Structure formats: structure tokens, C-alpha cells
Structure 1
Amino acid sequence: MENFIISDILSKPYESGEKTNFQIPLLAPYVTETEEKYLQECIRSGWITSAGKFIELFEQKLKDFTHSPYVVAVSSGTAALHLALRAVGVEKDTLAILPNISFVASVNAVHYCDAEPIFVDINSATWQLDENLLLNFLENECFYTKEQTFHKATLKRISALVLVHNLGNLGNISAIQEICERFNIPLVEDAAEALGAFYKGRHAGTFGKVGILSFNGNKIVTTGGGGAVLTKDEHISKKVRHWANQAKISAEEYYHDEVGYNYRLPNPLAAIGVAQMEKIHFLLEKKKLTRDFYADILRGKAIWQETLADSQPNYWLFTALFENSHLIAQKLKENSIQTRKLWYPLNRLPMHQNCLYVQKNDFSWKVYEKSLSLPSSVGLQIQDLEKIAKVLEEGLDEKI
């Protein structure tokens, strides 16, 4: 560790009011005086509902950063994904494909559309959806026309592929794009964790027909709760905005032309988002420095996600595989350092016991069993990292 050179910005203390039982939390938001200033402006102006200048400002900053032609800010990443799936035609009696490792919100949005999920195992190196398993499944267990693909066993239409960018890392997007085009399956990107991640110079969430972002309290940029829909399709952007506003078509009358949702983002939350986006490059730099720190002290002692040559991850949450992950987690907990395992594989959740799982070696379970996510807050101080390193070293020396 003594040979590791770390930027002095890591000595900057937490500036967060987040309450936690741990001295070093897993992921705490990083807020400064700017967020407070913009919130005060909302309160003093009276614009504290789902209208106000900060909503448009926030959407514009997201457009500028991601280069997505259209951005619609909504109340959560889950709401954004629900709207995105509905926009591409995910509906009752259809199937949607997604990786078996993801936060449960990814599949919950599929259920909201009354569709059924198909889970595909992850690549053992990148922990992203395995495109080879996907291709084999579509070629051998499905049939397709010029417009649609159907699952042979159920005759149900495959209405979307939900490509989740796990932990802000990216898989082989080019290969998955080609597969989706060949089989006429709409590509929806769940980039909830991937703000600031790029593939071949393009931002995550801008490759599919629709993409989404999340601004939950643990994300790199947070609004406390919030999300956004990204698309290059103007028609989709208008439909999404319409649905998110209860499908109300008149400013003067309560007239609604279809089923809508209360998915609007309040102006105060957008104000926080504007302040956060003003320091996005700083936040991303801190994430990379933290990742480099862990990579240095754990090299040869643990395994973490492989980064493809064309990918630029955002290093949102550093997660590694340890042979004695349970022991190390307990050791860190005893020292008031918070950790988490990766998400429980979706196919093993009780509501999915009858869902199709495409796999050969079940890497999802192997990765889950050994996984441990380590503190990755932007506000980590150098003394925090030194403490984590010391406890990790002690845990790694312990026999299983």
C-alpha cells in the first residue's frame, strides 16, 4: 500500500447528512452547499412540486453529458424502466430477456408490464449478460420473422432485451446490438448504475431504442430518488412524458386519454440533480481513484470485474470475489465498515422459480457466493481507506 499514490482530493471529508450505523458506510451521497442553495431557491420561489425551472435544467445537463437527443426526468429509475418497457411494446403474454444478476428493480419493471422474464447467465469475467448464451438460446429455442421473435416452447413473443450494465461496467454492447437487430428484439438499456460509463466513446443508455438512468441515494449522481429515460426517438420521448404525467392532455382540464402514471420528478429533487451534475467529473474521478486503491491492495488476492478494451466503466461500486468473503465481511462489520454481497440471482427468488433460466455453468451463483461490495463513497477519506485496507489484510490472512 505504501507504493500507492493517491490524489489529495481523497483527503476531502464527507459532506453528507446521511445517517448510518457504520462509521464507514457502503455508499453515502456527496452533497455540498450548492445543493442547499438550489433547494432554498425552490422553497423561496414556491416551485416545490413537479414543475419548475430545475427540471428542464436537469434534463438539459443530462442531454449535454450523455448526448442523448431526448431525456425525460422521472420519479425513479424503476419508473423510468417501466415507461421504457411499455414504450417498446412489452405487455401481457410477452417475454423479456435480462441478465440473471441485477438489482430486483430490473425484473420488477417487467412484471409491471404483465410480461414474463427470461434470465440469461452472466459472463464469468465481466459479470454482464453472456451474449454467447443469448445467441445460442435465440438460434435454437426461438424462431423469428422479419418483424418479431417467438419462443418455440410457449409461442410467446420476445418483446425486449433488458441489457443491465452491472456496477457501472459494460459488456460487449456491439455484439448484443447485432443480435437484437438480427432477431428484431427491441434493446432497452438499464443503465441505472452507469451514469458516466462509455462504450466506444458513446454513453451507456444511448445504444438501445430506449435507455434509463437512476438517481437513487446511492448512485454517483443522486437526487435522493429519481430517474431518467433516454432515447433518440422523439415519439417515444413524448409518449413517456405523457404517461409520466398521468396521460393528461390539457393544462386547463382533467382530461386523460389513456392510462398514465404519477411518475413526475419534483422540482426540488431536480435542483439537487443540477448541483450534482455540476460536479460530475469530480465524482467520477473519485470513483476511479477508489477503485484503483482497492485494485492495488487486492491484486493477486481477489478477483473483480474485467473491463473490455472498448469500455470505460464509472467504477460505481467496487465489488470483488473472495474465497472467504463471509469471514472478511464479518471482520469489516466488527470494525464498523459496511459491506454488501452482490444481488441474489434473480432466478432463485421465490416469484421466479418457474421462469426460464438460460445457463451452462451458473456463474451467477458462483459470483454471488464469493462476492463482497466494499465502501465506495465519494466522500471516503484517506484514513478510511487505510483502515479498510488494514482490516482486509487481516481478513485475508485468516484461514477459511
Structure 2
Amino acid sequence: MDTERNLSQEIVQAISSVVGAGPLALHEPRFRGNEWIYLKECLDSTFVSSVGKFVDRFENDLAAFTGAKRAVAVVNGTAALHVSLLLAGVEAGDEVLLPALTFIATANAVAYCQATPHFVDSEERSLGMDAHALRDYLAATTEMRDDHCINRSTGRVIRAMVPMHTFGHPVDIEALLALAHDFHLQLIEDAAESLGSTVGGQHTGTFGLMGTLSFNGNKTITTGGGGAILTNDVELGRRAKHLTTTAKLPHRWNFVHNEVGYNYRLPNLNAALGCAQLEQLPGFLIEKRRLFDAYQVSFADLPGVSLVAEPAGCRSNYWLQTLLLDESLADQRDAVLTATNDAGLMTRPVWALMNRLSVYSNAPKAPLPVAESLERRLINIPSSSGLLPVAP
């Protein structure tokens, strides 16, 4: 008990030495730019719903920032994933490969397509999908039939894979792209947490067929609620826009919808907020990197505790700063969570693995030794931009 209490207090002191005393949220938005100006313009114009100049501007600004040929703004990141999976050809009865270590929205989007999530392991280096373990697993458990990857145990087509850039740290995307090619899988990136992260200078979410973003209130920038689809396929982008705006054909007054569409439109008010936030994103990224550097110094001499850093060759947005306990200290995780939250420093564990949730407990899964270990050992600590004093 004394050991647990000492470790917990050491972590409280290490966090407090960087960000000060609580109460501090895990991650909260900052509104210090043109938010009020753009929102007032929306109100004055009366264009507050799904039509307005800020929707178009936000999409164009996102495309310019990420380097994608097309960005389509939608109501949230889950909707972005849902439509991306549909456009990738995921059908009822298919399977889709997902990391077991992810937020439930990734799995839910697959279920919306009446498909089945198939959970796979993660690597400790990036916290994301392990391409090498997955290649060995697919080689042992699947077969190619009529250019489709077939799960020999279920007889179902494995149609796609959705790697997630965990806490903003890019996955080994090049290895996953090669795997997707070899096994005839569509690759959709869940980049919900990684706006501002790059691999070799290329933005996450622009490597696969499509990528998806989230602008929930706890993300690096926020539109209150909101998300986006990124793609370098212009025609696919046009289809995404059509499907997410109720599949309505353009006309001055008639209401003609040529297929089942979705009312996933982002309101102009939210887009206005997003435009103002996106203007400040470069500064937010600088501040979050400064926070990582400060935490890294503070935790450098704390045995058994390390700070998750960006993988080699990548640049992370450091959306959430994350501690990784040594396996020998995993049983003290909850004591650390209790002590930090009691001190007013909001900390959180990683999500429960998807296969542990009752709704997905019967889904197929690969061996998950690394994901199971990470689940026991990860702790997110206060990560908001602006926690440090302004740099001189």
C-alpha cells in the first residue's frame, strides 16, 4: 500500500510541477480567436443551419491544411466513418478489421453497415494497429477467393481495415497500406484524434481511400460537434457530399432524392466555429508540443513511468499526453487514477478493449497480447493547449 501511495504521489507531483495545481480538465477547448466574430456573422445573416458560406470555407480550409483533394464536413466523426465505410463497399455480412484498442465509435460505424468488427492487436511503439502481427494473422487465418479476403472460420469477406491514430500518434501506415494491397482490403483511416499529425510530412487521413476527422469538444480543435471525410479521390468526395446531404439533387425548388442518403450535414454555426479554430491550429500544435517537452523532463527520473512519444519519422499533434506504466506497476494504475483525480488533476485510463464490451464480445478477434497489456498500463494526463505560460 505504501508503494502504491508513493508512486501515485510522485505522479501527482510530476504533473503539478508542469501545469500547477488543479482543478484541471483532461482536455478543454480554447476560444481566443475569431469565434465570436464568425458566430455573430452567422446570426446576423440568419444562415445558421446546413447552408452557409462557413461550411464551404471550412471544407476548403481543411483540404488546404491536410493536403487532401477534398474534405466533406459532417455532423460528427462517427457519421464520417459510417459513410466512408459505405463508400468503400462495406456490405451487410462483411467483416472489417479494427484495433481492439480504440474508441467505440470505430466499431459502431461498422455495425451501422450491418457488418462485423474483427478486432486485431496493437503495437506499443505507436499504440495503433500492428501491421506485422496482422500480416501473420491473416496469412494463417484467411484465404483469397475471387479476389476477396475470406475469413476461413466464418466464411465472411473481410472487406476493409480501419487503423486508428491513437491519441494523435500516427500508425505504421506504410506497412498497413502494403498489407491492404496484398490482401485486397480497402483502407480507411480513423484520424479522429490526429488533426495536425503527419508521416514523412504527409497528413494523417490522406493515405488511405478515405480518412475521417472529429471535432468534438475535447479534440485539438472543435466545432462543438462535427467531423469530416478526407479523400484524394475527387469523385469519391462528390459522392460523400451527396450522401451526407440527404442525396438531394440540385434544383432551385424541387425536392428530388435519388438514393437513400443521410442527414449528416454540419450546420453553418458549427462550421463558423471550426474556421476560427482552424486559424489557431498551428499555435495549438506548438503549445501541445511544448507541453510534451515539459512533461518529458518532469517524468524523466521517475522509474517505471514513461511518456508516450511520437514514432520515428512521424510528427504527432500530441492530442492527449499519455503515461505508460511498466508492466510491473500495472496493478497500481487505479491508485494513480484515484490520487490524481483527488488532487483535481483529471486523468483517465484508455478505453476498455472492444472485445470486452458485451455488445461486441462475440466478434472475431486475433490474439491481443499487446493491446491487453496497454489497456492495463495507459493513463492520459491533462493535455489542453495553453496549460503552460506563454513562451517568451
TM-score, scaled relative to structure 2: 0.89
Instruction: Please tell me whether residue 314 in structure 1 is matched to residue 321 in structure 2.
Output: no
> How far is the alpha carbon of 1:190 from its aligned partner?
0.3
Q: Is the 8 A contact 1:28 1:379 kept in 2?
A: no
CA distance in 1, matches of 2:250, 2:37: 33
Counterpart of 2:314, as a letter, is: S
Distance 1:306 1:32, change over 3 A: closer
The one-character-per-residue Cα deviations of 1:317-353 (angstroms, maximum 9, x if unpaired) are: 0111232222222122222121111111111111111
Distance 1:37 1:299, change over 3 A: same
Counterpart of 2:316, as a letter, is: P
Q: How does 1:1-400 map to 2 (within 5 A)?
A: 23-145=23-145, 147-251=147-251, 252-301=253-302, 302-322=305-325, 323=329, 324-359=332-367, 362-382=369-389
> How far is the alpha carbon of 1:269 from its aligned partner?
0.5
Q: Is the 8 A contact 2:97 2:160 kept in 1?
A: yes
Gaps of 5+ in 2: 1-17
3-state DSSP of counterpart to 2:160 = strand
Counterpart of 1:293, as a letter, is: A
The one-character-per-residue Cα deviations of 1:151-208 (angstroms, maximum 9, x if unpaired) are: 1122211111001000000121111110101111000000000000000110000000
CA distance in 2, matches of 1:38, 1:278: 12
CA distance in 1, matches of 2:309, 2:44: 48
1:388 maps to none
Percent pairwise identity: 36
2:11 maps to none
Moved more, 89-98 or 288-297: 288-297
Counterpart of 1:310, as a letter, is: G
Counterpart of 1:380, as a letter, is: L
Moved more, 312-321 or 244-253: 244-253
Counterpart of 2:243, as a letter, is: W
CA distance in 1, matches of 2:151, 2:313: 32
The one-character-per-residue Cα deviations of 1:229-273 (angstroms, maximum 9, x if unpaired) are: 001112211111111111111432222111111100000110011
CA distance in 1, matches of 2:146, 2:296: 47
> How far is the alpha carbon of 1:304 from its aligned partner?
3.5
3-state DSSP of counterpart to 2:348 = coil
Moved runs in structure 1, 4+ residues, more than 4 A?
A: none
Distance 1:300 1:89, change over 3 A: farther
> How far is the alpha carbon of 1:365 from its aligned partner?
2.1
Counterpart of 1:269, as a letter, is: N
Q: Is the 8 A contact 2:81 2:212 kept in 1?
A: yes
1:394 maps to none
Q: Is the 8 A contact 2:163 2:171 kept in 1?
A: no
> How far is the alpha carbon of 1:300 from its aligned partner?
4.5
> How far is the alpha carbon of 1:370 from its aligned partner?
2.1
Q: Is the 8 A contact 2:164 2:171 kept in 1?
A: no
> How far is the alpha carbon of 1:306 from its aligned partner?
4.7
Distance 1:358 1:305, change over 3 A: farther
Gaps of 5+ in 1: 1-9, 14-21, 384-400
